Structure 1
Amino acid sequence: MKRTQNSHCLLPDKLESSPGIGDIFREYGDRFRLKYRLHPRQHKVMYDIEHCRCGEFGTHWEICDTCGHMMKGYNSCRNRHCPGCNNIARHRWVKARLDELLPVSYHHCVFTLPDVFNPLCMYNRRVMYDLLFESASQTLLDFGHDPKRLGAQIGFYGILHTWGGKLWMHPHLHFIVTAGGINTTGQWISPKYHSKFLFPVLALSSVFRAKFLEKLKKAHRNGKLNFPRDFSSLADYFSFEQWLFHAVPKEWVVFSKPPFAGPEEVVKYIGRYTHRAAISNNRIISVENDIVEFWFKNTRKDSRWETTTLPVMEFMKRFLDHVLPKHFHRIRYYGFLSNGRARSSINLIRHSLSDRKPVGVTDEADPEGMECPVCQDGTMVTILVIDGYGNIVRDELPDPVFEQELETMNSS
């Protein structure tokens, strides 16, 4: 069964029979491992997704808080690259950001690396992505501190995405930036351009480009870059400089959207863009004859959802190209929202803006508790969790009666 192409901007509902990433990995994983040489991190991601909610990571029991119905389920892998394991982490992160919202406008800025750097990104993920974060964040901070533009410290956080709609390499940063900042005397300073834009994008692009290239050359001089076979000549610094001069475009893409309409829009945005995998399961339509069909958003046609296909081996390779290095932070905080300063800075700013209307945002539903499938009135509450080694890691059993029932369920 196949879904019809959607002419609107909303992604169609996923069919229950449609496969997910885990299904594809389980069916084609062995063939894929024989064909490609993988990094240990990619091996781990494949293993985790293949065994997610299949019993490998243990089991858990839930009970309805209304009718007492009990259910046994398999634990998820909790790998950040797994499309099925990000909902709870996303909810908790969004909830924390809600506590930091200020009664000011927010801007959405995007900084993109040119495609010419994709081969370097493939072989130097940590270095290239760190340079992207450093260059873009320093550009925004410098523009904020510039007295001709704002003369204050802004607050923002950046989210790294490395993919495009068809899973190609497309490293870019999404920033949520406060429309204004706080000066050295603790006073809130609003942007000079009011509601039109935060900073001129052409100026941002020029400074961002200069900062990134300067840092990239320094990384080369310090021997921090690896080069693929087709680019081995760039190991020579003079050749590298010549390549940067001739191959790298003069204009880089920096995009700035108009400010969000209000706090609700900010929440919708951060809930949509954080803790995402390269592709979600609901975008996958079918796998037939070793061909994967999936939805992608065509940004050249009013961001409409359209379908495309890839050979399953290429689909899996593209997905795994976006596995991040171990302990790499793909969400980072800057300015007065930087780690360790956010709480005190926010309290100071709220005091400075005490004459403005407080932020009132309705929190989204908690994804940790699903509706009871029996009474459809209560919420399922987790009462027991056993890990993949058989250890009890959470025990909230209400009384011995339920313990006996759990033993019966476990032995059946």
Structure 2
Amino acid sequence: MGAIAEIFREFAPEYLRRFGDAMPPEHRKVIDAILLCRTEENGSVVYRCEECGLNHILNRSCGNRHCPQCQSHKTTQWLERQMERMLPGHHFMLTFTVPEELCDFIRSHQRLCYAALFAASSAAMKKLCLDPRHVGGDLPGFFGVLHTWGRQLQYHPHIHYVVPGGAISTADGSWRRSGEHFFLPVKALSSIFRAKFRESIEKAGLLAEVPKEAWLKPWNVNSQAVGASEASIKYLAPYVFRVAISDHRIVKVEDGRVLFRYRKQKSNRERTMALDAMEFLRRFLQHVLPTGFMKVRYYGFLSPNAAVSLEEVRTKIELAYGFDVPEHEMEPKPKAALTCRGCGSLVRYLFVNLPAKRWPSGPSG
């Protein structure tokens, strides 16, 4: 069992006793999932060695997207899919962040506000892509990933986007390239982002709940040229399915406190923070997403419903570069196979033992 699961096992009962009545149902589900993950209570999968006949019994994972033990495989799968969809040409990573004055409001209205953050930031990019001074295309394509945490587990909602440097002009079907080191003006993006987010909150009838200071300061938008998309995708991949903190950052648990490692922004020096266990659990759980909320979203020609295929987009980009654009070649990675701990031969799947509570109850007697 991982370090964070051990923390939950030791301190979650007390946390539930203190705060269970006021806890969102999503938080209770995450606690239950983490406590049962890879335990006998969660069922098991049985494999048998093809050579020596030895049976291997592995406890099942919970599969919850907020469980630190369950995300590594999903991250690898997502990365492989994105690398297959990579486009040639230069790319940018754009990050949209809200002022600190908005954090309490967003945390209290997560489903509404997270959707509004995606809608406002994506609309800002689409609007400015139309401007011929920057790109001049009406069909950009990009994907974004919502993060809600900072390095000390504090609440810090922001969205990272990976954006190919250009857009399609549907008027003539051509690829309109942006500059290699400049995509869109961040001050203009900030203003549009703020205005469109405010429109969403006003439409929901909640504008009076937002501190006025939030609208009086610039909203932070960062744009960074990242060259080929491979670097930015590999950077984002661990964050797509990563939870607020992973096991390797936990230093120790002692005297009811959790000590964990972190680094300040733009610093490589490792620091240690100590939090009361109840506060650690509170900070961890505040990053649980609303049920069913999609934290990764695709837009424009990268959307699954796009009218233009990725092959068409790739061809248009190559034409715009005069075919003088490096192509990334995927290196096939062999999939890890399960082997017998006795003789080292391959094992094959036999069956799953589901936990008793998941079997339909039959007639009594």
Matched residue, 2:313: 349
The count of aligned residue pairs is: 350
Which SS does the other structure have where 1:56 is aligned? helix
Letter in 2 for 1:73: L
Matched residue, 2:195: 210
**1:116 corresponds to 2:101:** yes
What TM-score results when the alignment is normalised by the length of structure 1?
0.78
Deviations, residues 46-91 of structure 1 (Å, cap 9, x unaligned): 0000110012221012356787764211000000000111122222
Residues 1:266 and 1:119: Cα distance change in structure 2 (over 3 Å): closer
Q: Does the 8 Å contact 1:108/1:256 carry over to 2?
A: yes
Could you tell me how far 1:167 is from its partner in structure 2?
A: 0.8
Deviations, residues 304-359 of structure 1 (Å, cap 9, x unaligned): 432111000000011111111111111111111112127x4312112222624432
After superposition, residues 51-200 of structure 1 pair within 5 angstroms as: 51-63=36-48, 70-152=55-137, 153-184=139-170, 185-191=172-178, 194-200=179-185
What TM-score results when the alignment is normalised by the length of structure 2?
0.87
Q: Does the 8 Å contact 2:144/2:159 carry over to 1?
A: yes
Which residue of 242, 248, 252 maps to 1:286?
A: 252
Query: Structure 1: which 5+ runs fail to align?
Result: 1-17, 226-236, 393-412
Q: Does the 8 Å contact 2:141/2:163 carry over to 1?
A: yes
Letter in 1 for 2:302: L
Matched residue, 1:321: 286
Letter in 2 for 1:271: A
Which SS does the other structure have where 1:332 is aligned? strand
**1:255 corresponds to 2:241:** no
Residues 1:380 and 1:278: Cα distance change in structure 2 (over 3 Å): farther
**1:359 corresponds to 2:328:** yes
Which SS does the other structure have where 1:170 is aligned? strand
Matched residue, 2:362: none
Q: Does the 8 Å contact 2:99/2:214 carry over to 1?
A: no
Letter in 2 for 1:282: H
Mapped to 1, the partners of 2:49 and 2:327 lie a distance apart of 37
Could you tell me how far 1:200 is from its partner in structure 2?
A: 1.9
Which SS does the other structure have where 2:142 is aligned? strand
Residues 1:26 and 1:57: Cα distance change in structure 2 (over 3 Å): same
Q: Does the 8 Å contact 1:197/1:259 carry over to 2?
A: no
Which SS does the other structure have where 1:258 is aligned? strand
CA RMSD, Structure 1 to Structure 2 (Å): 2.5
Could you tell me how far 1:214 is from its partner in structure 2?
A: 2.2
Could you tell me how far 1:303 is from its partner in structure 2?
A: 4.4
Could you tell me how far 1:205 is from its partner in structure 2?
A: 1.4
Residues 1:98 and 1:180: Cα distance change in structure 2 (over 3 Å): same
Letter in 2 for 1:21: I
Which SS does the other structure have where 2:271 is aligned? strand
Which SS does the other structure have where 1:338 is aligned? coil
Q: Does the 8 Å contact 1:95/1:363 carry over to 2?
A: no
After superposition, residues 258-269 of structure 1 pair within 5 angstroms as: 258-260=225-227, 262-269=228-235
Mapped to 2, the partners of 1:364 and 1:293 lie a distance apart of 37
Query: Structure 2: which 5+ runs fail to align?
Result: 360-365
